[in-house]
Amino acid sequence: MSRIVTVGAAQLGPIQRGDDRASVVARLLELLRQGAAAGCDLIVFPELALTTFFPRWFVEDITEADHWYETAMPSPVTAPLFEEARRLSVGFCLGYAELTPDGHRFNTQILVDKSGGTVAKYRKVHIPGHEHHEPDRPFQHAERYYFEPSDEGFGVWQAFGGRMGMMICNDRRWPESYRVMGLKGVEMILCGYNTPIHYVPDPSQDILQGFHNALVMQSGAYQNGTWVVGVAKAGVEEGVDSLGQSMIVAPSGQIVAQTLSTDDELITARCDLDWCRRYKETLFDFGRYRRPEVYGPITGQRGVTLD
């Protein structure tokens, strides 16, 4: 028996500071239509897919950044995406900056089903970068100033005929993200990202960005017997070059599709969710082989302690 989900990774090229949401939504609609034409059940868009990556600038008064956040989803400008999804009977996953009615700010991702209804919301757990202005940087990465870390952890939801999970960007670098969802039986993890090529704390990593991107998603997929869909906002955004290389990774860890450009580009794959069992019921039969009784430090401490 095969449970096939045809998934599209809808990579975005750069969104410049002056690009309004309507022009971005038009690009998202084009990718959604391409995906529908290709037989996709689900289209995955990047992290912060409605705006430029605004944490690259620092504003002393954070309310001056409010316009980068969504206070409603859908809103009048994003509603056409939900309506078209329903008309085409295609689901989608969308990353955006969320400002809640009580003033909380999250880096958020939602899962919308084929009826155009929101079935899941995830808020980013691992927030990289820095909390305060660092004027010596060539560009800021002040996500820890603009977003609160979620305390809701990682969810897995029954949708599209399987167990669907979500994570955002830096989450993909932490094995805990995959394992928590793995322990909830995840079969496909959806992950948007915005990854600058230049890593200011250690420029030696710049040349390895593509390697590290693939490394973490391939290992996370294999070690948890799950599909992983990683989708970039890529290209040179306001002078900052961001990684593309969006990809669809099988439970074996094999990359089954990868983008070639740093522009708007759709890649698709027919993903058999039953392939997950080849790993979940053998090598990574968690119930049989894991040893949580000796894993205490993983949840018991934050940083390193030397015995």
Kindly write out the interface string for residues 46-65 of this chain, putting x where it contacts ligand ING by CB under 6 A and - elsewhere: --------------------
Q: How many CB atoms lie within 10 A of CB 23?
A: 11
| Number of residues in contact with ligand ING under rule CB under 6 A | 9
Residue from 19, 33, 34, 128 in contact with ligand ING (CB under 6 A): 128
Is 47 a residue of the active site? yes
Report how far residue 302's alpha carbon sits from residue 218's, in angstroms, rounded to the nearest whole number: 25
Instruction: List CB contacts of 167: < 8 A, sequence separation 6 or more.
Output: 122, 124, 125, 154, 177, 178, 181, 189, 190, 191
Shortest distance (Å) from residue 80 CB to ligand ING: 26
What's the angle, vertex CA 107, arms to CA 33 and CA 189, rounded to 5? 60
Q: Nearest distance from residue 169's CB to ligand ING, in Å?
A: 3
Say which of 70, 93, 98, 124 is annotated catalytic: 124
Q: Based on the residue annotation, tell me whether 169 is a catalytic residue of this protein.
A: yes
Residue from 40, 169, 191, 271 carrying the catalytic annotation: 169
Do residues 7 and 229 lie in contact, with contact meaning Cβ atoms separated by under 8 Å?
Answer: yes
Residue nearer to ligand ING on the CB measure, 31 or 97:
97
Candidates 111, 100, 103, 112; CA nearest to 71 is 100
Which position among 40, 47, 93, 187 bears the catalytic label? 47
CB atoms within 10 A of CB 132: 10
How far from 2 is each of 125, 146, 221, 270, 272, CA to CA, in Å? 33, 43, 19, 11, 6
Q: Work out how close the CB of 54 gets to ligand ING at its nearest, in angstroms, rounded to a whole number.
A: 11
Identify which of residues 88 and 99 has a Cβ nearer to ligand ING in the complex: 99
Handedness of CA 268, 273, 275, 279 (dihedral sign): positive
Of residues 3 and 198, the one with the C-beta less far from ligand ING: 198
- Cβ atoms 171, 123 nearer than 8 A: no
| 147 is a contact residue toward ligand ING (CB under 6 A) | no
Catalytic: 124?
A: yes
Closer CB to ligand ING, residue 153 or residue 161?
153
Q: Which is nearer to ligand ING, 170 or 262 (CB)?
A: 170
Q: Contacts with ligand ING in 169-208 (CB under 6 A)?
A: 169-170, 173, 193-196, 199
We find the least distance from the C-beta atom of residue 143 to ligand ING, in angstroms, to be 6
Shortest distance (Å) from residue 38 CB to ligand ING: 27
Shortest separation between residue 50's beta carbon and ligand ING, angstroms: 15
Q: Which stretch binds ligand ING (CB under 6 A): 1-9, 33-41, 67-75, 165-173?
A: 165-173
Which residues belong to the active site? Answer: 47, 124, 169
Binding site for ligand ING (CB under 6 A): 128, 169-170, 173, 193-196, 199
